[in-house]
Structure 1
Amino acid sequence: MKKFRLLSAFFVLLSAITFTSCETEPVDPVLNGNNGEGPGSGGSAPASFKVDFSGQTYVATSTLATIGKGLISIGGIKGNDGQMVSIVLDGTTEGTYEGAKALIDYNPGNSDYSYFNIDPNTGEDTGLVTITKIDKVNKTVSGTFNFIGWWSNEELNLPSIAFTNGSFQNIPYVDSIDTGEEFFKATVDGSANSYAGADLAVVVSEGGTVNYISINAIGANHKFVLSFPDTVTPGTYTFATGASSTKRATFTDAEDNDFNVTGGTLTITSNTGGWVKGTFSFPVANEVGETLHTVSAGSFNVEWDF
Structure 2
Amino acid sequence: MNKLKQISVFILMFTVLFFAACNVEPYEGTIPNPTPTVSTGEFKVDFDGQTYVASFTQAIVNNDYVSITGLKPSGEFFQITIPNARVGTYTLGTNSTNFALIYSTGSGNTPFIAVNDNTGSFANFPNYTDTAQIVISNIDTINKKISGTFKFTGVKFTDTTGATITTKVFTNGSFTNLSYTADVITTPTNNTFTAKLDGVNFVPTNITGIKQSSLISVIGRRGSIENIGLAFPDNTTAGTTYDFTPFDDERGQYIMDGTTSGIFGGTGTMTITSHNASTRRVKGTFSFEAETLLAPFLTRNITEGTFDVTYL
Contact 1:147/1:162 (8 A) holds in 2: yes
Corresponding residue for 1:51? Answer: 45
Corresponding residue for 2:134? Answer: 129
Q: How much has 1:190 moved relative to structure 2? A: 1.8
AA of the residue aligned to 1:193: F
Contact 1:203/1:213 (8 A) holds in 2: yes
Q: How much has 1:149 moved relative to structure 2? A: 0.2
Q: Secondary structure at the match of 1:101?
A: coil
Identity %: 22
Corresponding residue for 2:200? Answer: 191
Corresponding residue for 1:104? Answer: 101
Give the TM-score taking structure 1 as reference length: 0.52
Question: Given the alignment, which residue of 213, 216, 220 partners 1:213?
Answer: 216
Contact 1:116/1:150 (8 A) holds in 2: yes
Corresponding residue for 2:146? Answer: 141
CA offsets per residue over residues 122-147 of structure 1, 9 Å max, x none? 34696343444443543422223232
The CA distance in 1 between the partners of 2:306 and 2:196, in whole Å, is 10
Q: How much has 1:94 moved relative to structure 2? A: 3.9
Q: Secondary structure at the match of 2:178?
A: strand
Q: Secondary structure at the match of 2:187?
A: coil
Q: How much has 1:52 moved relative to structure 2? A: 4.7
Task: After TM superposition, list the pairs within 5 Å mapping 1:74-85 onto structure 2.
Answer: 74-76=68-70, 82=74, 84-85=76-77
Contact 1:183/1:194 (8 A) holds in 2: no
When residues 266 and 145 of structure 1 are mapped into structure 2, their CA distance, relative to the original with a 3 A threshold, is same
The CA distance in 1 between the partners of 2:133 and 2:192, in whole Å, is 29
When residues 280 and 105 of structure 1 are mapped into structure 2, their CA distance, relative to the original with a 3 A threshold, is same
Which has the greater radius of gyration? 1
Q: How much has 1:84 moved relative to structure 2? A: 4.9
Task: After TM superposition, list the pairs within 5 Å mapping 1:56-75 onto structure 2.
Answer: 58=51, 60=53, 62-67=55-60, 72-75=66-69
Q: How much has 1:60 moved relative to structure 2? A: 1.9
When residues 51 and 168 of structure 1 are mapped into structure 2, their CA distance, relative to the original with a 3 A threshold, is same
Q: Please say if 1:115 is aligned against 2:112.
A: yes
CA offsets per residue over residues 51-80 of structure 1, 9 Å max, x none? 3556x57352644114279875434467x7
RMSD over equivalenced CA pairs, Å: 5.6
Q: How much has 1:4 moved relative to structure 2? A: 7.8
Task: After TM superposition, list the pairs within 5 Å mapping 1:149-228 onto structure 2.
Answer: 149-151=154-156, 153-154=158-159, 157=164, 159-173=166-180, 176-181=184-189, 184-194=193-203, 204=211, 206=213, 211-215=214-218, 226-228=230-232
The CA distance in 2 between the partners of 1:130 and 1:196, in whole Å, is 30
CA offsets per residue over residues 3-29 of structure 1, 9 Å max, x none? 98994454342441456689xxxxxxx
Corresponding residue for 2:303? Answer: 295
The CA distance in 1 between the partners of 2:265 and 2:55, in whole Å, is 43
Relative CO higher for 1 or 2, CA cutoff 8 Å, sep ≥ 6? 2
Q: How much has 1:300 moved relative to structure 2? A: 4.3
Corresponding residue for 1:11? Answer: 13
Q: How much has 1:230 moved relative to structure 2? A: 3.8
The CA distance in 2 between the partners of 1:218 and 1:136, in whole Å, is 25
The CA distance in 1 between the partners of 2:193 and 2:6, in whole Å, is 17
The CA distance in 1 between the partners of 2:203 and 2:70, in whole Å, is 32
When residues 148 and 202 of structure 1 are mapped into structure 2, their CA distance, relative to the original with a 3 A threshold, is farther
The CA distance in 2 between the partners of 1:230 and 1:110, in whole Å, is 18
Runs of 5+ consecutive residues of structure 1 not aligned to the other structure:
23-38, 41-45, 243-247, 285-291
The CA distance in 2 between the partners of 1:140 and 1:91, in whole Å, is 17
Contact 1:142/1:169 (8 A) holds in 2: yes
Contact 1:68/1:176 (8 A) holds in 2: no
When residues 203 and 116 of structure 1 are mapped into structure 2, their CA distance, relative to the original with a 3 A threshold, is farther
Runs of 5+ consecutive residues of structure 2 not aligned to the other structure:
25-37, 124-129, 245-249, 255-261, 290-299
When residues 249 and 115 of structure 1 are mapped into structure 2, their CA distance, relative to the original with a 3 A threshold, is closer
